Chains A and B, each alone.
Chain A
Amino acid sequence: AQKITQTQPGMFVQEKEAVTLDCTYDTSDQSYGLFWYKQPSSGEMIFLIYQGSYDEQNATEGRYSLNFQKARKSANLVISASQLGDSAMYFCAMRELDGGSQGNLIFGKGTKLSVKP
């Protein structure tokens, strides 16, 4: 069965420093996608970055990058130059890309990031 594991319930980072949020996944599918979402205290789910299992390069979106290590089944999120507004819950998620349920995501339990001034 598919599973997403986020082992860091909470993390602190100093403003302007970089931080890595860990995510490991388990799947027997060859074709899948990995997502990171940010959930601020206001509650909405904000899409940050996507990595496909066949993408050869690590995904980047502005200050966000995804450190994809397929053999280790890890998809860590790196936030560079942290800002106070980055304080939020961060969720890693995975989607099957084959089969009838390809619209659905499996989520980890999340990491709460707190940025210190």
Chain B
Amino acid sequence: NAGVTQTPKFQVLKTGQSMTLQCAQDMNHEYMSWYRQDPGMGLRLIHYSVGAGITDQGEVPNGYNVSRSTTEDFPLRLLSAAPSQTSVYFCASSPGNNEQFFGPGTRLTVL
């Protein structure tokens, strides 16, 4: 089991560029989520999915899109990167009970 994997680990973008952060899990979990972590803050929910084909917005969804075409994959798309999106991004998956597994994170800098 690889658990939750995220790519890339680091990324630098210029303002206005677009990119996709990849997330995959091999535990057959229905629930997947994207969080961002800013300095001095806990993690904040961007988007989540309760199963393939179903997504919904979290606390801070603006500027991000997601899709869930398979149970395994949950990519996060930045449509037009802004400096305010400089952050560390965590993907997580859960079977929906008392467990939540996090990926190693992607550190994104937008210049």
Contact = CB atoms under 8 A, between A and B. Distances in A.
A103 B50 CA distance: 7
Interface size bracket, A side: 20 to 34
B56 A103 contact: no
Interface in A17-31: none
Interface string A33-53: 101010000011101001010
A105 interface: yes
A66 interface: no
Interface residues of B, number: 29
B71 interface: no
Contact of B50 (A44, A97, A100, A110): A100
A93 B48 contact: no
B42 A109 contact: yes
A80 B92 CA distance: 29
Contacts of B100: 35, 47, 95, 103, 105
A62 B50 CA distance: 32
Contacts of B88: 43
B48 A91 contact: no
Given A50-B98, A107-B42, 16 more contacts: A35-B100, A37-B102, A43-B107, A45-B43, A47-B99, A93-B42, A101-B48, A101-B50, A102-B31, A103-B31, A104-B45, A105-B43, A105-B100, A107-B44, A108-B42, A109-B42
